[in-house]
Structure 1
Amino acid sequence: MQKRTIIIYSSVDGQTKKICQFIKEVLTDNNHYADLFSISNFKEEFKSYDKIVIASSVRYGKHNEEIEKFIGENYEFLNSKKAAFISVNLVARKTEKNTAETNPYVIKFLNSIEWKPYKVAVFAGTLNYKLYTLKDRILIKLIMLMTKGPTSSKAVLEYTDWNKVEEFAEEFVRI
């Protein structure tokens, strides 16, 4: 029987969506039925799915509020399923902060919710100053300055390790 997976995501600049689309492709290639939805205006029935992936980008140190609310309202059901959480953030560009056990945003987030995901993944996102509003550009440059990251307005850097994303998706197929 074909497994059914729903992927629910929040993406500010598009990288989390891109990662989730890639995961959906891997699942589909492995004979899984997969649906992909943005949390914005999400009103789908999701309780008939066998597996669930919830993904959120981080902006200014926080995961998406709608994702947090969805988890808070559904944590009992999520705890009863093979469900995974994915965090996409720029801190994960550093090897020492790219796991669930070492990423400060993920540690803080998981400690603040009642859902205990079956699997947690952390992927680095993309830095593209051209996509940001002036306010975001200034704030993100300040953060990058403090964390010894790139501050050039011309910087467009995709930090996502696609092999790691594929590894996650293939492991998720097997659970």
Structure 2
Amino acid sequence: MSHILLIHSSVHGQTVKICEYMKQKAESQGVKVTLATLADNPSVEGFDKVFIGASIRHGKHRPALYQFIEANKEKLEAVPNGFFSVSLVARKPMKNTPETNMYYQAFLKQSVWQPQVQEVFGGNLDYQFYGPVDRNIIRFIMWITKGPTDPHTKVEYTDWDKVDNYVQRMIDA
């Protein structure tokens, strides 16, 4: 039985929700999964596979993600690995793949690591959950990108069938 380390970097919790779902799905197939937050700087030692999921905040992945990757590049490359990004931009059909998502492409350019199993998932939009500053910034971004701006909007853009597919790719890696 393989043992997967699944690391998450999340701001508002959707990436954590996706990782918890992935853990449940993989474990239902007999795979052991350990969840860890990037903030705890987890050790990648002793795992057969390592996967990382990170959300976008104001158009960028967090600097800690790149620091972790730089510090663990050789260990990441020594085992089957993968990365997925979670963003509201990925709600759009022409921006929901690693090849077409500008944030994922920026990640690949900035990162010293090129993950083997790659994916992009839509995030969660919940204006009432955000603080006033984030709410206004996100509403402005959504206005620019022709998304919902009603301050009572709550919609999850995560395609769970796509997540299921990624879990299978993660297991098969």
> TM-score if structure 2 supplies the norm length?
0.97
**Partner residue, 2:8:** 9
| Equivalent-residue separation in structure 2 for 1:157 and 1:150 (angstroms) | 9
Which stretch shows the higher mean deviation, 162-171 or 76-85? Answer: 76-85
**Deviation readout 1:38-89 (Å, 9 max, x if unpaired):** 11223x4322100011010001111122222101111122122211101000
Unaligned runs of 5+ in 1: none
Structure 1 stretches of 4+ with a deviation exceeding 6 A read: none
Distance 2:133 2:116 in 1: 37
Q: 1:39 maps to which residue?
A: 38
Name the residue aligned to 2:27. Answer: 28
Match in the other structure for 1:117:
115
Alpha-carbon RMSD across the aligned residues, in angstroms, is 0.9
- CA distance in 1 between counterparts of 2:97 and 2:19 reads 18
User: In 2, distance between residues paired with 1:140 and 1:101?
Assistant: 24
How far apart are residue 29 of structure 1 and its match?
A: 1.0
Q: Distance in 2 between matches of 1:101 and 1:143?
A: 22
**2:132 — aligned with what?**
134
* C-alpha separation in 2, matches of 1:39 and 1:63: 12
In structure 1, distance between residues paired with 2:136 and 2:77: 39
TM-score scaled by structure 1?
A: 0.96
> Which one-letter code corresponds to 2:131 in the other structure?
T
**What is the percent sequence identity of the aligned residues?**
39
**What SS does the aligned partner of 2:39 have?**
coil
Q: Where does residue 104 of structure 2 map in the other structure?
A: 106
Q: Tell me which amino acid in the other structure corresponds to 2:43.
A: E
Number of equivalenced pairs: 173
Any stretches of 5+ residues in structure 2 without a counterpart?
none
